[in-house]
Amino acid sequence: MKTKAKAYLVGGGIGSLAAAAFVIRDAGIPGENIFILEAAPNLGGSLDGAGDPNLGFRCAAAGC
The end-to-end CA distance of the chain, in Å, is: 46
The whole domain housing 12 covers 7-59
What pLDDT score does 53 carry? Answer: 84
Asked whether residue 47 is domain-assigned, the answer is yes
Count how many domains the chain has. 1
Asked whether residue 45 is domain-assigned, the answer is yes
Asked whether residue 1 is domain-assigned, the answer is no
Does this model's pTM top 0.85? My answer is no
Asked whether residue 64 is domain-assigned, the answer is no
* pLDDT tens digits, 15-57: 999 999 999 999 999 999 999 999 988 787 777 777 788 888 7
Asked whether residue 53 is domain-assigned, the answer is yes
Please spell the DSSP secondary structure of 38-62, one letter per residue: -SSSSSBGGG-EEEETTTEEEETTT
